[in-house]
Amino acid sequence: MTQCLTGKKVLMKGNYAIANAAVLAGCECYFGYPITPQSEIGEFMSGKMQELGRAYVSAESELAAINMTIGACSTGAKAMTSSSSCAVSLMQEGLSYATSDQLPVVLVSVMRGGPGLGNIYPSQGDYFQATKGGGNGDYHLIVLAPSTVQECADLTYKAFYLAHKYKNPTVLLADGMLGQMMEPVEFKKYPYPEIDNSKWALDGAKGRTNRVIRSYAPLASNQCVYLEELYKKYKLIEENEVEWEEIGTEDADVVLVSFGSSARNAKIAAKLLREKGVKAGILRPITLYPFPAKRLSELALKVKKFITVEVNMGQMVNDVRLAVNGKVPVELIHKPVGIPPAPVEIVKQVEELI
Partner 1 sequence: MTTQVFKIPDSFKKDVRYTFCPGCDHGVAVRLVAEVLDELGLTQNTICAASIGCSVTIYDFLNIDTIESPHGRAMAVATGVKRAKPDKFVFTYQGDGDFASIGLAESMHAALRGEKISAICINNTTYGMTGGQLGPTTILGQVTTTSPTGRNLEYYGYPIKIAEHIALCDGTAFSARVSLDTVANIKKAKQAIKKAFEVQMKGLGLGFVEILSSCPTNWKMSPDKAHQRVREEMMPVFNLGIYKDVTQS
Determine if 24 is a binding residue for partner 1 (CB under 8 A).
no
| Angular region, 193: left φ>0, alpha ψ -120 to 50, beta rest | beta
Select from 2-10, 18-26, 211-219, 240-248 the region that touches partner 1 (CB under 8 A): 211-219
**Among 212, 219, 220, 301, contact with partner 1 (rule: CB under 8 A):** 212
- Helix (H), strand (E), coil (C) string for 249-269: CCCCCEEEECCHHHHHHHHHH
Shortest Cβ distance from residue 136 to partner 1 (Å)? 11
Q: How far apart are CA 189 and CA 138, in angstroms?
A: 36
Determine if 207 is a binding residue for partner 1 (CB under 8 A).
yes
The amino acid present at 313, given as its one-letter code, is M
Q: Is the CB of 55 or the CB of 195 nearer to partner 1? A: 55
Give 345's contacts (C-beta < 8 A, 6+ positions apart): none
Q: Is the CB of 46 or the CB of 75 nearer to partner 1? A: 75
**Among 15, 25, 31, 107, contact with partner 1 (rule: CB under 8 A):** 31
Q: Is the CB of 10 or the CB of 63 nearer to partner 1? A: 63
**Among 29, 178, 256, 311, contact with partner 1 (rule: CB under 8 A):** 29
Is omega for the bond preceding 285 within 30 degrees of 0, making it cis? no
Determine if 230 is a binding residue for partner 1 (CB under 8 A).
no
CA angle 234, 20, 116 (to 5 degrees): 60
Q: How far apart are CA 199 and CA 98, in angstroms?
A: 18
Determine if 213 is a binding residue for partner 1 (CB under 8 A).
yes
Determine if 94 is a binding residue for partner 1 (CB under 8 A).
yes
By residue count, the chain amounts to: 354
Binding site for partner 1 (CB under 8 A): 28-29, 31, 55, 57, 59-61, 63-65, 67-75, 77, 79, 93-94, 97, 101, 202-207, 209-216
